[in-house]
Each structure stands twice: as C-alpha cells, then as structure tokens.
A and B are shown apart, each in its own frame.
Chain A
Amino acid sequence: MAEISEVRRELALDCFLLAGKVMMESGAETYRVEDTMIRMAVSQNMMDSHCFVTPAGIMFSPSNDLPTRFVRIHGRRTDLERVARVNAVSRRLVAGQLTLQQAYEEMTEIEKNHYLFPLWLQVLAAAVASACFLILMGGGWADIPFAFLIGGIGFYIVEMVLVKTRVKFFAEFIGAVAIGTLAVLVVYSGFGNDPDTIIIGSVMPLVPGLLITNAVRDMMAGHFVSGLSMGAEAFLTAFAIGAGIAIVLSF
C-alpha cells in the first residue's frame, strides 16, 4: 500500500464506489458488482481489499488498516445499458487501456446520463409484447388489438403511478386492476372473446423477470442477503399483480 499516494487512493476509492453504485442502481446482480469492484481494486494494487454489496448499500474496505467507505443506494431503475457501459469501462481499466483519472471521468459521465429508451417506445414495446404473448399463450387472433391496447395502457399506468408515488407494489397493483377492468369491459361489451388470455397477455410486461434472474444468480453465488431480498421483491410484485387481477375477477 505504501507506494500508493493518499490522493490517488481516494480517487481510486471514489471510482470503485461510483462504479458499484451505478451498477447496483441500474439492475446488475450483486455478485457482479462485487466482482467488478474487486477486479478494479486488484488492478490498482489493492490486493487485500474487501467488498460487501447489498441492494441497499455498498461497503468497501481497501485494506486492514485504512478506513472503510460506504455508499447508500436509493432508487433502483432497470437500465441495463448503464451496466454494460460501466462494465466496459472497468474492463478497460483492468486491461490498462485507461488511467484511473480517465476511468473516473467516464464513470461520472455515465452516472449523470440515462440511456433509457423514450417512454413511448417502451409503451409500444409493452403493447407488442402483450399482443405476441396473447397468441403464444393460445389466444385467438380476434383479440389481438385488445391485448395490444390494454398491455400498452397497463404499462403506461404502472410507469405513471410509479413516478407519482414511488411505491412499486402499489403501482403494479393499480396497473393490474386497470388491465383486469379493461379486459373484462371489452369482453362484456361484446368486442373481445376470451378475457383470460387477454389478461394473461397484457399482464406479461409487468412480470418481474429481472428480479427473478438476479435473485437466482445471486443465491447461486452465495449472496443470500441480496438473493433473498430480491426474491422477496419479486414475490411481492407477483402477489400485487395477482391481487389486482383477483379484485377485478371477484366482481
């Protein structure tokens, strides 16, 4: 450790924590965040560093006798492009193609930006996915326009409620209630044929696929704290969707 100066060490720590924070906020797996941070640390001659990542915060200790740093992770928003970009920067840093200063600058650049697709495109994608799933799940061709519209509307409602309230389960619940109501209305008014397949298709964009995948991969890597908490989040999300549909069906 002696050969690393104070300033450089602080910069390195800032860089690692920033990388971990951006990855965790954008929906990376916990074990990948730890792996990336440790690799970057080793490339900067911090051989005995330790790192502990949970979905709520990151702790990083550069060595036994230096102070440990901590960052809190607040909101999470799925943006896998940011994960890919941070991953690319860390690869180049480890390979020696970037200096620490350059890597830090690129990380701050990534942190400031969002690489989200525009909302209308996401709503359109949700609508297309709903229509595709309607057919894949065995629905009739006549129901396609309804699944398309209801899937898009449901996804839009979830996004809007999420922006307003910041409570994910509530947003999913409201979205599911809206989808169920619309599907039942369409069928009662005589346009649609089968409410079941319309609902199943339209609900698909709300399914917590990323959480399920991440929970499984984290559990596998031995990160039970984050694996279980992500699994619980996935279960609660699924439960919120189910409850929303159940309320509509019970009338």
Chain B
Amino acid sequence: MNWPLEAFLSFLAAGAFGIIFNIPKKTLISCGLVGMSGWLFYRSYFLMFDDPIQATFAGAFIVAIVAHILAKIFKMPMIIFSVAGIIPLVPGSRAYNAMRNIVENDYMEAVDFAVQALMISGAIAMGLVFAEVLMQLYFKYQARRTQKKMGFTQE
C-alpha cells in the first residue's frame, strides 16, 4: 500500500465532498484533513487486523473525534467537518457487489455482501456514537474544572 498516495487521494476526495456539501470556504482544508485521518486510520487498522467492520468503527470514531476538536476550534457545528470524512467509509463496493449478485440470481453471495454492508453501516453509526459520548464527557469534565477554578461550584 502506498501511504502518501492514499493520504493525498483521501484528502482530495474529502475536500471535494466539502465543496459538494457547500461547507464554508475556510474549513475546506481542515475538512480534507478529517477525511484523510479517518481513511488512513481505517486502512491501517484493516491491514493490521483484517476485519472491515472493526476498521470502519475505528475510522468513524477518529473522524468524529477530529471533527469535534475542529468544531471547538472553529466554533462551528460539528457536522460541517464530519460529513465529508464519513463518506470514504461508506460500504459502497459491498453494496454494489450485493446488488450485482442479486441481479445475477446468486442470492447466497448477495446476502453475504448485504449483511457485511449493513454491519459496516452500523459500525459507522456506533463509531459516531462512541466519539460523541466520549467528547461530551470530556467537555463536561473540563467545564466543571474551570468552574471550580473560578469558584462557581455548587457545594
């Protein structure tokens, strides 16, 4: 696998998706970085453990974490950064193979691909959920610490 090439391509693809979704111009580059980090993490996890579902979960998790951090920095809604990063993880080729096998009347193969596509979609959703919960806990903890520092505690 060619790391710099994949990094460049995923960066370009995520930035292009940013244009399709009309994100603000100054966030295009950071949007590309989100897509790049998600894809690279997904690929390296996939090459290490050879499990597309876990790898997609890890990729979506990283995308959401990076998007949350950027949303805090830019003070903008988090979806602006996460949408384009999620797209490369969508199980396009598996859904396509499922469809092609249905057309060719090979239903056993089709069900196999369709279930994989479904599990990967679920993994994307779970990755987003886990990152969201983690970031919320962290922000709450941070807010409480600043409140304590300023003497605003309820106790």
Contact = CB atoms under 8 A, between A and B. Distances in A.
Interface stretch (B49-57, B71-79, B137-145, B146-154): B71-79
A32 interface: yes
Residue in B6, B99, B129, B132 whose Cβ sees the most chain A Cβ within 10 Å: B99
A42 B21 CA distance: 31
Contacts of B129: 216, 220
B119 interface: no
Contacts of B99: 242, 245-246, 249
A133 B80 contact: no
Given A125-B19, A204-B92, A212-B86, A220 B100 contact: no
A147 to B, nearest CB: 12
Interface string A202-213: 011101011011
Interface residues of B, number: 47
A200 interface: yes
Chain B interface, DSSP helix/strand/loop, else mixed: helix
Contacts of A220: 128-129, 132
Nearest to B19: A125
A136 interface: yes
Interface size class of A (residues with CB under 8 A): 35 or more
B135 interface: no
B80 A80 contact: yes
Interface string B4-48: 011001101101111111111101000000000001000000000
Contacts of A207: 87, 90, 92
Given A78-B22, A246-B103, A249-B103, A209 B87 contact: yes
B93 to A, nearest CB: 5
Interface string A80-119: 1101100110010000000000000000000000011100
Contacts of A29: 77, 79
A122 B18 CA distance: 9
A214 B6 CA distance: 27
Contact of B13 (A84, A129, A196): A129
Nearest to B90: A207
Given A196-B96, A207-B92, A125 B16 contact: yes
Residue in B9, B97, B104, B124 whose Cβ sees the most chain A Cβ within 10 Å: B9
